Structure 1
Amino acid sequence: MPGKHRIGEDGTRGLIPDGLAAALSSLCLLHCLLMPLGVGLLPLFAGLSADALEGPEWLHWALLLMALPFSIHALWKGLENHGRPAPARMAALGFTLMAAGALAHGHHLLEQLLTVGGGLMIAWAHWRNWKLRAALS
């Protein structure tokens, strides 16, 4: 039933969770993408440890755990709406990569590759979910 998640004639209520979930998932992505800038400014922060520059390990888990419930909600509603599991599968892979990145904390390049790759997959999953839902509105 395509219209069951709509609040008004424009159907925007059903699309908000995807935007929110993508934004929260992108926090990890931004964190990793801004790290090279921090490394470039490293001489200015000569006395700081590596942990101070990349953030504590708990930060990765906190961002991941904040984004996860919103993603599950948005992707579940999308699956109910459009019936296609591909966005949820891609997001699951993205979250797995981001968790692996958090586990790789301290292995700078591996951590960044896993987290950025996972964040991009999650962003794609929510974009695709949004497009599939919008096509039915």
Structure 2
Amino acid sequence: MPDAPASTTSPPLATLPARPPFWDRLGIGISGLCMIHCLLLPVVLALAPLWPMAEELHAWLHPVFALLLVPTTLLALVHGYRRHRNRRIAMWLVAGLVIVLVAGVLGHEMPGAFAETSITVTGSVVLIAAHWRNWRAGAACRPHPPATVPPAS
């Protein structure tokens, strides 16, 4: 059974709140920083004469991004899903997070830096798009009341 939002079309941007909710803004920002890091680090490292220091910086950035992305994505997912109840958006948020985490954990085991960068950028783009959709879907509908359990008879 498809899980469609309350409205099948998104409202025009002019009718949406000026800014996405905090957790989606933070998730978009962190995912964007992660993507920029992955795209620019090879260029910076090629130009940097302090290779050992740059390599140490690169090694600790992955756990820092993970520590920031996991709670941000999960909080955005919970807050957004409470409003729109769209499982597809929740799946995309989780998928993007998993892709980025897999690239961060297994990236150095992959042959060549291109594979790690490609997978991380793919995960970051999925996360950014999912946060965007989470914001749009949440802004397009009224909040759903919390699920209640019917009383036992």
Q: Kindly tell me the number of residue pairs found equivalent between the two proteins.
A: 125
The reply on whether 1:21 has 2:27 as its aligned counterpart is: yes
- AA aligned to 2:90 is A
For structure 1, the 5+ residue unaligned runs are: 1-9
* C-alpha contact 2:77 2:134 (8 A) present in aligned 1: yes
- AA aligned to 1:28 is C
For structure 2, the 5+ residue unaligned runs are: 1-15, 143-153
Which TM-score applies when normalising by structure 1? 0.76
1:1-137 to 2 correspondences below 5 Å: 15-38=21-44, 42=46, 44-46=47-49, 48-49=51-52, 52=54, 55-103=57-105, 104-105=107-108, 107-136=112-141
Structure having the higher Rg: 2
SS at match of 2:138: helix
Identity %, equivalent residues: 31
> Residues of 2 paired with 1:23 and 1:14: CA distance?
12
The structure whose residues are more often helix, as a share, is: 1
CA RMSD of aligned residues (A): 2.7
Show structure 1 runs of 4+ deviating over 4 A.
10-14
String of CA shifts for 1:73-108, please: whole Å, max 9, x gaps.
111111110110112211211111111211212641
> Residues of 2 paired with 1:84 and 1:65: CA distance?
26
Instruction: Please state how far the C-alpha of 1:47 moved relative to its aligned partner.
Output: 5.8
